Amino acid sequence: MARLFPICSSSEGNCTFIGTRGHGILVDAGCSFRALKNALALIDTDLSGIEAVFITHEHYDHIKGMEQLFKHTALPVFAAGGTISAMAAAGRIPDGRAVYNINETGYKSASFEVTAFGTSHDAAESVGYRIDFNGRSFAVCTDTGVVTEAAEKALAGCETVLLESNYDPDMLRRNMRYSFDLKRRISSSVGHLSNRDCAEFAEKLVRGGTTHIILGHLSKENNTPDTAYGCTSDLLAKRGLNVERDYTLDIAPVITEGHYIAV
């Protein structure tokens, strides 16, 4: 059965597998090569079963593992044009290796059709992805300060969505380790999605046909799994939508080096 499997999703690393046991694609490669292989092994998959890698943007927590993927595999890699330029300028693309512009080439194979949509983040050209696979639809939508019109359109009716629930505003405000500028950046329209904004959009998704929501990219400093889960489930319950009856809700796992940890 096809599924979306978040290998890791946090402020420290992001990588998601979509497909069936033994065969699929990756969205982002923000964990180490070892952690990626170990996580894939949990679903009886290895890198030979990966068709392609799709990068959302050039920030390090989304491309940390790309150097080793380029070194050890010939996997085709796709990203938006601005992301490709930013990665090339930073020396992240080896000589002789191509990264394909998803907005120009698109992606359609015997099993997958992958479509990019714009997100609102302080990166060169950040995107999320909708993946249609054998009659089922999945999406990854993280690293966005607001839900863009493009995202809302692309995710309409999508069965399973990995959706950013990055921070709790009160925790962010009280965080004495973060500067004012960093707090402003996180909470801006080109930063990250708060728990409340995530919950508001989650309601639209469920009413539009989404049956499974996975909350991802939680901040270690400014959020907790219980806080994020409670915000979405409580808001939807107040509006007549109940977990298990109308939709399922999960928290994406995080990875420490070489170890898979479900939270």
Q: What is the CATH number of the domain that holds 77?
A: 3.60.15.10
Task: Work out whether the CA dihedral 58, 215, 223, 181 comes out positive or negative.
Answer: positive
CA neighbor of 3 nearest in space, from 262, 252, 263, 257 = 252
Helix or strand holding residue 198 (H, E): helix 195-207
The percent helix, strand, coil of the chain (3-state, each to 5) is 30, 30, 40
**Single pTM value for the model:** 0.95
pLDDT at residue 254 greater than cutoff 90: no
pLDDT confidence of residue 112? 97
pLDDT confidence of residue 262? 34
- Mean pLDDT for 256-260 is 40
- Count of the separate structural domains present in the chain: 1
Q: How many CB atoms lie within 10 A of CB 101?
A: 18
Expressed as residue numbers, the domain containing 42 is 3-261
pLDDT confidence of residue 11? 85
Q: ∠ CA(20), CA(24), CA(26), 5° rounding? A: 130
What pLDDT digit, counting tens, does each position of 32-49 carry?
999 999 999 999 999 999
Question: What proportion of the chain, given as a percentage, has pLDDT over 70?
Answer: 96
CA neighbor of 263 nearest in space, from 79, 84, 12 = 12
3-state secondary structure 68-83: HHHHHCCCCEEECHHH
CA neighbor of 160 nearest in space, from 45, 250, 62 = 250
